[in-house]
Amino acid sequence: MRHLQISGTQYSPNVDFDPEARVLSLSGISRPENTIEFYEPVLAWLEEFLDSEKQRPAGGKPVQLDINMDYINSISVKYIMGIILKCQQELKSHNGLSVNWYYVEGDEEGRAWGEDMEAIAGIDFNLIEKTA
């Protein structure tokens, strides 16, 4: 399976989904002009990855999802939450999912987004405060 890398811009996030390391990383800013167009290839790759994960023996290391966003618009939240839920649903009975949610020190809204998504997904996130 190929490594998915999409360089971030001033409007779209950096995507680094490494199937070999089993680390899926989103970082930067997510407010693309056409959110559907941006996230479609990401979601297609994710489906393929999750299908390949079903072939792995259970009991291995969990997939790590790193979300390190400086800004997320409301439509992007829907897609990011969809990524989290899809991973959680597909991986919970297999090797599991570990979510690292990064937020800027003192950014209570950023932390709250992570807490809200954690509650919706029904799994514990690692809420990680980063220095500005």
Q: What are phi and psi of 93, to 5 degrees?
A: -95, 5
pLDDT average, residue stretch 20-34: 96
Q: Tell me the per-residue pLDDT of 37-65, one tens digit each, with 9 for 90 and over.
A: 999 999 999 999 999 988 887 777 899 99
Query: What pLDDT, on a 0 to 100 scale, did the predictor assign at position 58?
Result: 73
pLDDT in tens, 91-105: 887 778 999 999 999
The DSSP bridge partners found for residue 72 are 30
Query: What CATH number does the domain containing 71 carry?
Result: 3.30.750
pLDDT of residue 57: 77
Count of structural domains, the chain: 1
At residue 10, does pLDDT exceed 80?
yes
Average pLDDT on 113-121 reads: 94
Who has greater pLDDT, 15 or 1?
Answer: 15
Helix/strand/coil (H, E, C) string of 9-62? CCCCCEEEEECCCCEEEEEEEECCCCHHHHHHHHHHHHHHHHHHHCCCCCCCCC
What pLDDT score was predicted for residue 91?
85
Phi, psi values for residue 30, rounded to 5°: -125, 95
* Across 31-37, average pLDDT: 96
Instruction: Report residue 22: phi and psi, to 5°.
Output: 65, 40
Residue 69 pLDDT > 90, yes or no? Answer: yes
Q: Residue 129 is encoded by which pair of tokens?
A: 């405060």
CB 63 within 8 A of CB 96: yes
> In 3-state terms, what secondary structure has residue 102?
strand
The residues near 5 (Cβ < 8 Å, ≥ 6 apart) are: 15, 16, 17
State which residues form the domain around 27.
Answer: 4-130
3-state SS assignment for residue 122? coil
